[in-house]
Amino acid sequence: TYERVLEIHKQHLSPILTAYFPKPLLLHQGHKEWLFDYEGNRYLDFFSGIVTVSVGHCHPKVNAVAQKQLGRLWHTSTLFFHPPIHEFAEKLSALLPEPLKVIFLVNSGSEANDLAMLMARAHSKSTDIISFRGGYHGGSSSTLGLTNVGPFKTELSSGLGCQSTMCPDVFRGPWGGSHCRDSPVQTIRKCSCAPDCCQAKDQYIEQFKDTLNSSVAKSIAGFFAEPIQGVNGVVQYPKGFLKEAFELVRERGGLCIADEVQTGFGRLGSHFWGFQTHGILPDIVTMAKGIGNGFPMAAVVTTPEIANSLAKSVLHFNTFGGNPIACAIGSAVLEVIKEENLQENSQEVGTYMLQKFAELRDEFEIVGDVRGKGLMIGIEMVKDKMSRQPLPREEVNEIHDNCKRMGLLIGKGGIFAQTFRIAPSMCITKPDVKFAVEVFRSALIQHRD
Ligand code: PMP
């Protein structure tokens, strides 16, 4: 059957959907932080889809709620009301600070950011949107204009998002230009110290001001930022940087949008939302992935004032957004996060995990950096610590594949796919971390020898 699946995949599925491993993984079943392939092999899932399965695969409570709703009512469209949507809206809004209380339900992160862009334009009456180099905000033709992770960029994306999007050379991670397509060798290394370095912050703020003052961005509609850049390889900003950036955008009439698609729902541990870790209050928050534990759903949350601006500007509906099954699942996920103290678990196990993986930095020359927060960790691989050049792709892939063979699934990110990304379900335990670190360590030893 395995060969047959590969054959069908080749014949009938888009070639753009490339498998993550040389021998593609054919998954059969999931349970909490574990996945099982069709041969019965078990894998510790430390990427949870793509940072999506927030409370664990096939969580019994979420499953039971979904099954009950499946038998009751699937679909109404946004033309009709149903209790699950109101129950979920009330639960979700209780988790957000005033005045972020109005919720729009959609189906994916890209859709959420598309809608946020529309809102920002409707409210500000401007069109220009700013986003960071290294940011990922979606793959739809307009959100691709916001996305600035090199390999995803394409001239095919629609002008709506793209032409007006600035790609400011504002933020570079601790490894300097490693996120910049044009400079495979890191030339900008004025500051390669910890992300809370003030010197880096001031430097980035100056660059950010230049961008804002440039002619294209005279009046700004909105500014999108991930609290931690995920797809770019778990890149953190210097302390205080995002806060100052928000202030500068607001001085120019723009709305500030926090893209919490990866960072929300307690993953970062210390706070439920990533923006809270920066001490900032966005005008619009977009969220997806973890919201539905893998069920397709997403949301945009904003203020009544901004929601009214959109309502006055355009007729809007969404066929599937806020469907009863998604909403029932969304409520169950929020309950599980609370009942099982999963945010606290992210904090405790995440802190432990960061420390354990960071120990490998001293042990292996090719482990350039270990960073992150809570259960969102990046391990940047380099040729050596002096040159800081990215470890060649084939070598990264070999380590990645060896981890899989030893029963550990992790993600990759960054412009050269040189950063391993670790973002498991929030139910993982310290023994899981011990297993993962040992497997990763063995894969590094195999590479060295
Ligand atoms: N924003 C961020 C921060 C993301 O990581 C992603 C997906 N990787 C998206 C938006 C787009 O989400 P989706 O794939 O659900 O459209």
CATH number at residue 92: 3.40.640.10
Same-domain check for residues 143 and 280: yes
Ligand 1 centroid–CA 334 distance in Å is 20
Same-domain check for residues 326 and 409: no
Ligand 1 centroid–CA 287 distance in Å is 9
Ligand 1 centroid–CA 222 distance in Å is 18
- State which of 278, 309, 339 marks the end of a domain: 339
For the Cβ of 288 lying below 6 angstroms from any atom of ligand 1, the answer is yes
For the Cβ of 323 lying below 6 angstroms from any atom of ligand 1, the answer is no
- State which of 323, 339, 355 marks the end of a domain: 339
Which distant-in-sequence residues (6+ apart) come within 8 Å of 15 by Cβ? Answer: none
| Alpha carbon 258 to chain centroid, angstroms | 11
Output the CA torsion sign for 11, 16, 22, 27.
negative
Ligand 1 centroid–CA 343 distance in Å is 21
For the Cβ of 168 lying below 6 angstroms from any atom of ligand 1, the answer is no
Give the number of residues written for the chain: 449
* Model ipTM over 0.95: yes
Nearest to 245 by CA among 265, 222, 262, 264: 222
For the Cβ of 418 lying below 6 angstroms from any atom of ligand 1, the answer is no
Host domain of residue 375: 2-58+342-448
Ligand 1 centroid–CA 257 distance in Å is 14
For the Cβ of 262 lying below 6 angstroms from any atom of ligand 1, the answer is yes
Same-domain check for residues 50 and 70: no
Same-domain check for residues 91 and 104: yes
Say what the pLDDT of residue 78 is. Answer: 87
Same-domain check for residues 52 and 84: no
For the Cβ of 259 lying below 6 angstroms from any atom of ligand 1, the answer is yes
Please, which contacts does 95-100 make with residues 24 or more away whose CB atoms are closer than 8 Å?
A: 95/272, 95/273, 95/334, 96/273, 96/285, 96/301, 97/281, 99/303, 99/304, 99/305, 100/281, 100/282, 100/285, 100/301, 100/302, 100/303
Atom of ligand 1 nearest to the CA of 111: 16
Number of domains observed in the structure of the chain:
2
Which of 284, 289, 295, 376 to mutate to test ligand 1, by most ligand atoms within 8 A of the CB atom?
289
User: Are the beta carbons of 266 and 426 closer than 8 angstroms?
Assistant: yes
The residues facing 194 across adjacent strands are none
Q: How far apart are CA 35 and CA 64, in angstroms?
A: 20
The amino acid sitting at 356 is K
Cis peptide bond prior to 168, omega within 30° of 0: no
| Alpha carbon 117 to chain centroid, angstroms | 18
271: tokens are: 């706070």
For the Cβ of 114 lying below 6 angstroms from any atom of ligand 1, the answer is no
Q: What is the pTM of this model?
A: 0.93
Ligand 1 centroid–CA 109 distance in Å is 5
Say what the pLDDT of residue 38 is. Answer: 92
Nearest CA owner, ligand 1 atom 13: 109
Ligand 1 centroid–CA 298 distance in Å is 10
Same-domain check for residues 263 and 249: yes
Same-domain check for residues 261 and 289: yes
- State which of 339, 364, 397 marks the end of a domain: 339
Number of H helices, E strands in the chain: 14, 15
Same-domain check for residues 350 and 331: no
Nearest CA owner, ligand 1 atom 14: 109
Residue 364: Cβ within 10 Å count:
17
The per-residue pLDDT string of the chain (449 residues; one tens digit each, 9 = 90 and over) reads: 899 999 999 999 998 888 889 999 999 999 999 999 999 999 999 999 999 999 999 999 999 999 999 999 999 998 999 999 999 999 999 999 999 999 999 999 999 999 999 999 999 998 878 888 788 999 888 888 788 776 777 666 654 433 334 333 333 333 333 333 332 222 222 233 344 444 567 777 887 887 777 655 567 888 999 999 999 899 888 888 899 999 999 998 999 999 999 999 999 999 999 999 999 999 999 999 999 999 999 999 999 999 999 999 988 889 999 999 999 999 999 999 999 999 999 999 999 999 999 999 999 999 988 999 999 999 999 998 888 888 999 999 999 999 999 999 999 998 888 999 999 999 999 999 999 999 999 999 999 98
User: Are the beta carbons of 58 and 294 closer than 8 angstroms?
Assistant: no
**Residue 146 to residues 105, 136, 142, Cα–Cα distance (Å):** 21, 7, 7
For the Cβ of 292 lying below 6 angstroms from any atom of ligand 1, the answer is no
Atom of ligand 1 nearest to the CA of 296: 15
Nearest to 285 by CA among 246, 325, 317, 342: 246
Ligand 1 centroid–CA 291 distance in Å is 12
For the Cβ of 260 lying below 6 angstroms from any atom of ligand 1, the answer is no
Q: Identify the residue whose tokens are 């009938």.
A: 12
Q: How far apart are CA 233 and CA 231, in angstroms?
A: 5
